[in-house]
């Protein structure tokens, strides 16, 4: 879970990401956080390939990653969401208070 969500459920007294820059929201995790630069690079590569294969005129922007709505097909939208899901799944997260590692969005809650 992202710290902002953990905070909202009352399990943590701080919503701030371990990088210390900001609240750990989905936007922060996907677009900003310095801890996931390598994973984000792979995500952007995957999404670029999807757009290229589809010969889409859509530009790869932050807002496209967050809500791919205009100018792409439902299939491309699903492919981009799958790439996002892979990023979330393989970004191992450290639970600061418990010292455990886990995926941000756990596949089996
Ligand atoms: Zn961060």
24 CA from centroid of ligand 1 (Å): 6
In angstroms, what is the span from residue 2 Cα to ligand 1's centroid? 10
At residue 88's C-alpha, the angle toward residues 92 and 46, to 5°, is 120
| Ligand 1 midpoint to CA 55 (Å) | 33
Distances (CA, A) of 43 to 10, 23, 30, 85, 86: 31, 22, 9, 10, 8
- Give me the pLDDT at residue 67, please: 66
Q: What is the Å distance from ligand 1's center to 98 Cα?
A: 18
Give residue limits of the domains in the chain.
3-103
Q: What digits encode the pLDDT tens for the residues 36-75?
A: 888 888 888 888 887 777 776 777 777 777 665 666 777 8
71: CA distance to ligand 1 center in Å? 30
25 C-alpha to center of ligand 1: Å?
Answer: 9
């Amino acid at each position: 879970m992202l710290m902002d969500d953990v905070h909202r459920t009352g399990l943590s007294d701080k919503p701030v990401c371990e990088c210390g820059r900001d609240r750990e929201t989905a936007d922060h995790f996907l677009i900003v956080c310095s801890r996931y630069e390598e994973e984000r690079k792979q995500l952007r590569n995957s999404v670029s390939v999807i757009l290229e294969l589809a010969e889409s005129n859509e530009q790869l922007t932050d807002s496209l990653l967050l809500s791919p709505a205009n100018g792409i097909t439902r299939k491309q939208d699903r492919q981009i969401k799958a790439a996002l899901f892979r990023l979330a799944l393989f970004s191992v997260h450290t639970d600061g208070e418990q010292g455990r590692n886990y995926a941000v969005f756990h596949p089996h809650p």
